[in-house]
Every structure is written in structure tokens, then in C-alpha cells.
Structure 1
Amino acid sequence: MLRNNNVVARIFQRQIQTPPPGTSVHCARRFYENLVPSFTIYDVECPDHSFRKFTDDGQYLISFSRNHQDLIVYRPTWLSYSYKQEDCHLPSRAKRFDSFFTQLYCVPLASSNEVICKDFFLYVITNQFGLFATSTAQIHDAPAIGGAIQGVPSIERITFHLLRLEDGVILDEKVFRNDFINLAHNMGVFLYDDLLAVVSLRYQTIYILQIRESGNLVDVRAIGAFCREDDELFLNSNSQRMAVADRSKLHQSSGNHVDNGVHSNQLNSDNSFLSGIKQRLLSFIFQGIWSEETDKFQRVQCLKKKFYFHFQDYVDLIIWKVQFLDRHHLLIKFGSVDGGVRLFMLSTT
């Protein structure tokens, strides 16, 4: 059947035509047969910026200044020029950048010792919020203290900026100090609806934040050393009871109180645990191997070969990346030194 190539006629036909079964749109792809790029303009005069990307809805063009200190946002003007197929001579103004884009604002994001991460940008399409990141220089030989992973560099200050793209107002900021988050190509940060998951490679912690409609970044929880909110309280209370019991035993076995104090401090310093997320990982692997065999003897042999023999390899696994499967489940990517990858699903409820 012949179709009218007139744009107005096609819009009218799409409004009155019944959609195909199981769909909710009317021949939307056929409509765009009339609006396709058919000509390229070369040697366009562009500002000296580092262009990042368009937002998902095509409303904004994100770019940064060459010194990576300022954010510059443009809005496309679209359909600035047209021509017939036999006449493709466009005016000289068509080779100017401002003929196709209008600068909305220029906002300074980074301080004097910080730079904008040009490879990082997340867009909250529902509220038209943009999430940007600035950071100081990496320290590659930083000491691994306070539970940090050996060999992972440190960044003195990492700042996430939540900005309203409509007018360039900075709504909120979130700062991480002496940490390392992989910002390149959004590897260390994942956005799902209004939830934000940030992976600290240095401290092996997953920070979950919520982006409110008011423009606030609210801490929801942190998963790493502790998985649940009362884990720290439970472990501290038990460690205190164990310390009291150890001191009483040492006091009974020796009358030297100074010597008792030394032994007590040594016991407390040696009383270390794996992180909560690593404990859950080991428990999951153990239970999986345990369920493979029903015979007790075969079960023990299977655990020796598959779990205890590789126990240190499991302990050395490092969280590389996470993503939300839904609002209550995370998919965690663990990596090893030899390049092996393991995926695990974690419930956040």
C-alpha cells in the first residue's frame, strides 16, 4: 500500500490508526523515515572544550573546560537548516557551533587542586539531575592502613556533585577522603532509579545512597566491614565480653597485673575478623559445596579439595564492580589477582 510522504499526513495517520496487537505505539519507526540525517558539515568552528556526551533524552550536551575545572552545558537547537536533495549549498553560518547549540551556563566544579573526571557522568532522567565527580591526584604508594587493601592507590579527596541541569544549580555534594573509587567510564558507580551504589576499592565497601527529589544525597547504608546495621554493635559487645573473660582467666593464673595487661593487649590485637561481606561470600561458597554431597565422608573430601584448598584464594577476592538488579538486590563482581571473576547476588534487605 502506498503511503503519503508528507510529515503532517503521517502524524495525523498515526493518531487515528489502531496500533498493532500487543503494542502501544503507531508505526513510530516509519514516521522517522522522513527525518533522517542526510548531509555532513565539515570543519565546524567549535569551542575549545572537552565534550563528554549528550544526556539520554537529548536535551543537554555536557562538556568540560580544557583545564577540567569548569562544567559547560549546551542545549541543542535542532533542525537549524534544511535543503532539497538537488541543492545542498548551506550558508556560511551553518559551519558555526552556535548555530546548532546554545550555551546555558558555565559552572566551576573543581577547586585549585582538583580536576573534573572527564570520563564520569550519570544522568537522573526523571529529575534532570546530573552527577559529576572531581578528585585530587592519585597517590600510588599510599600505606595500607585502617583496613585498606595493599597495592590500591589512594586519592585524598573525591567529591560527587549533584547538579540540576536546567539551571546549573549545585544541589548537594558527597565527599570521600583518602579512598579510591574507579571513576573511569562510571566503573565504580552504578545508578538504578534513585539509588546510587559507590564501590570503594581501597576499603572494599559498597556505599548505597539515595537521590531525593529535593536534590539531596542521603546515605542509606554501607556494606563491607559490616553488612547489617547492628553488626558492629553485636561484634563490639561480644569482643568486650571476651576481653573481660580473658582478663579474669589471666588474673587467676598469674598475680602479675602488669604482665596480664600485656597479654590482654596482645589477645585483643590478634582478635581480627574478615569483613562481613567476605564472611557471607565464604559461607555461600561453603554451603554450595556442602550441598553437593550427601555422604559424610565424600562431603569432607569435597570440602578439602574445593573449599579449604582454595580458602586463601577466596579470602583474597576483591570487589571490582556492583550493579543493582532491582531495588533490593545487588550483583557483585569479585576479581582475583590471576584475572578470575566470580559473580554473586546480595540481598540488601
Structure 2
Amino acid sequence: MFKSLNVTARVFERQIVQPRPSASVNSVRQFYENFVPSCTIYDIDCPDNSFRKFTDDGKYLISFSRNHQELIVYRPTWLSFSYNGEDCDSDALSQRAKRFDSFFIHLYTVSLATSNEFICKDVFLYLEGLEFGIFATSTAQTHEVPATEGAVNGVQCIERIVFHLVRLEDGFVLDEKVFCNDFVNLTHSMGVFLHEDLLCIMSLRYQAIHIVQIRDSGNLVDVRIVGTFCREDDELFIGSHIQVTEGPIFLSGIKQRLLSYIFRKHWSEETDQTLVCHPDIAFFHFCVSCLTNFIFKI
């Protein structure tokens, strides 16, 4: 049923409509949506923190210390002051209304980073049902690092990256996921994605996607790594059907699957019947086309 947001219509509806049993409180709370700020207070006595954001449910305000090594969490007190009049002026309010602690309660301060690590302020993922928060700390980036086995040449390297699972209710660190000598793009959380209870972390240095499950108990459990092999039995299948040679694999599993999808799409759109009837010839033309595009891009 359509419900109007107009406050006059809501008052009229409250007079003529009888709410369901034990639901009168919810109908009254709908009027809170019509309360909007009418005054802005400037020059607030605010802590010297780097404020990040509110959680999706509005229960917590996430901030970091200026040295980006401590997590500082506040809880908003919501409606704190009101003004009985038409034109509200900040000077008419009490001096307490100009203090930060009049609107927020400091819950705790937790040290996440060590002496040579810093909190990445762009990374914050929130599990609303469990009230868990995911934060990231890392050391400084290094550019001239020799590529180890499985790593890609020319990709930056970070000595240590740690993902922290924090219970926001009391600030207890439940679990950690550590990456050593790797590179994850933490800017704007581009290398980290959360879907329900699955956390995906993309490693650019090793061209792999780490899928981690967040349990209700607060544990980070490794589910799968999509990189050299995509499925669980890929390594067994390749080892039993193909003669394995020493040295790195030419293409990782995820690259092979992407190229196969591109080839199948290219083959399905092919109009030349000679190429359609001979997949080997079509694959040769596909390789030549890819190589030509690669040369022109260079």
C-alpha cells in the first residue's frame, strides 16, 4: 500500500487508520522521517581524527588517528538538541551544542597497525548483520623488487598487507589475513570486494583472486584461490593429461579461461564457413588477430 511522506497526510492517516496490534510504535516512528536539520553549526570542538564514514545502519562512526595507526569508533546519540521557533540560529543554542561529544559517544580506540604499518583509510567493509568491520593495514610500497616464482615483473610490491576483522561492538580483533611481498590495490577498495559473507581479494602481483569466507564465529576461512588454477580439480586434471615441464606456466588458469571465452565468442560470430568447419584454422586466425592488436597497441 502506498504511504505518503507528507507530514499532513500522515497525521490524517493516523486519525482514521487503526494500526495492527503491537504496531502502533512503528507507525509513530514514521514521523521521524519528517524531522530534517534546519540549522548548521560551525566551528565544532572536534577531535583531531581522520573521519571515514558512518556504517550502513548508522550505528557507528568510523575514524582513524592522524598517524593512521589507531581505529577510533564513535556511536551517535542522534537527537540531542531542539529549538522551539521558526528561525533557528546557532547563537541561540547552548555552548554544549557546539561540542562534538554532545552528538557522539566515544566507544573505544584500538591499535591496528605496528610501527612500520599504516591503516589504509579507503578500505572499510561492513557486515551489517554481524556488525563486523574489515580494515586493512600495510607497509610502504617498494618498486624495484625482483619477481619471485609466480610473480609478475614490473608490478609494485608491499612487504606486508594485513586485513583485520574487527567486532565493532567492543573493538575486539577477531581474525587477520596476511599477505607478504604482494600487491593489492587498496585505493578506494579497488582490490577488495565483499558479497554477503564472502570476501574477495585480488592480488595483482601474483594474478590471483583469493576468496575468503567470514564465519559467524569471527573466523576468516580460505575458500579458493582463482589464479593458476580456477577449479579445485584443475591441477589434478592437468597433471594427469599433460606432460608437465619445469618452469613457469605460460598462461594462468584464469587467463586461459578468459581467452577461451573470447575465442568462442569470436568463433560464434564468424561468417566464413571455412573457419567455422575448421576450428584449428579459426584458432590460428584468432591468434594472429590478437598478436596484431598487441603489436599495434605497443
> Which category describes the TM-score, using the shorter chain as reference length?
0.7 to 0.9
Aligned position for 1:284: 261
Q: Is the contact made by 2:54 and 2:61 (CA closer than 8 Å) also made in structure 1? A: yes
Give identity over the alignment, percent.
59
Query: What does the per-residue CA deviation read over 1:96-142, in whole Å, with 9 as the maximum and x for residues that have no partner?
Result: 11111010000000011111001110000010000000001111112
Are 1:274 and 2:275 counterparts? no
1:93 and 1:130, CA in 2 relative to 1: closer, same or farther beyond 3 A?
A: same
Size of the alignment, in residue pairs? Answer: 282
- Kindly state the Cα deviation for residue 76 of structure 1 after the two structures are TM-superposed: 0.4
Residue-by-residue CA offset, 1:279-326 (whole Å, 9 max, x unaligned): 111111111111223644254786555543214868x9xxxxxxxxxx
Q: Conserved in 2, the CA contact under 8 Å of 1:51 and 1:64?
A: yes
CA–CA distance in structure 1, aligned partners of residues 116 and 52 of structure 2: 22
* Unpaired runs of at least 5, structure 1: 19-24, 244-267, 317-336, 339-349
How far apart are 1:14 and its partner, in Å?
A: 10
Q: Does 1:54 align with 2:58?
A: no
CA shift for structure 1 position 269 = 3.8
**Structure 1 position 237, deviation (Å):** 4.3
Any gaps of 5 or more consecutive residues in structure 2?
21-25
Distance in 2 of aligned mates of 1:227 and 1:61: 39
1:198 maps to 201
Q: Which amino acid aligns with 1:70?
A: E
Q: Is the 8 A contact 2:39 2:88 kept in 1?
A: no
1:6/1:80 Cα in 2 relative to 1: closer, same or farther (>3 Å)? farther
Q: Which moved more, 1:288-297 or 1:224-233?
A: 288-297
**1:168–1:283 distance in 2 versus 1, CA, 3 Å:** same
CA distance, structure 1, for counterparts of residue 222 and residue 162 of structure 2: 15
CA distance in 2 between counterparts of 1:219 and 1:53 reads: 28
Is the CA contact 2:80–2:102 (under 8 Å) kept in the aligned structure 1? yes
Which of 161, 165, 169 is the aligned partner of 2:168?
A: 165
Conserved 8 A contact 1:289-1:307: no
Give the Cα–Cα distance (whole angstroms) in 2 for the partners of residues 188 and 46 of structure 1: 32
* Code of the aligned partner of 2:36: V
User: Does the 8 Å contact 2:38/2:88 carry over to 1?
Assistant: no
**For 1:206-255, what per-residue CA distance to the aligned partner results, in whole angstroms no more than 9, with x for missing partners?**
1111111111111110101001112223334456xx47xxxxxxxxxxxx
- Alpha carbons of structure 1 residues 4 and 132: separation in structure 2 relative to 1, 3 Å: closer
Cα displacement string for residues 149-173 of structure 1 (whole angstroms, at most 9, x for unaligned residues) = 2221001110000011011111111
- Letter of the structure 2 residue corresponding to residue 161 of structure 1: H
Matching residue within 11, 15, 18 for 1:16: 18
Give the structure-2-normalised TM-score.
0.84
Change (3 A) 1:309 1:27: farther
Alignment of 1:132 onto 2:132: no
User: Distance between the aligned counterparts of 1:168 and 1:232, measured in 2?
Assistant: 41
1:26 positional shift: 7.9
More deviation, 188-197/144-153: 144-153
Contact kept? 1:5, 1:34, Cα under 8 Å:
no
Deviation at 1:191, TM superposition (A): 0.6
Counterpart position of 2:42 = 42
Offset at residue 34 of structure 1 (A) = 3.0
Root mean square deviation, CA, Å: 3.2
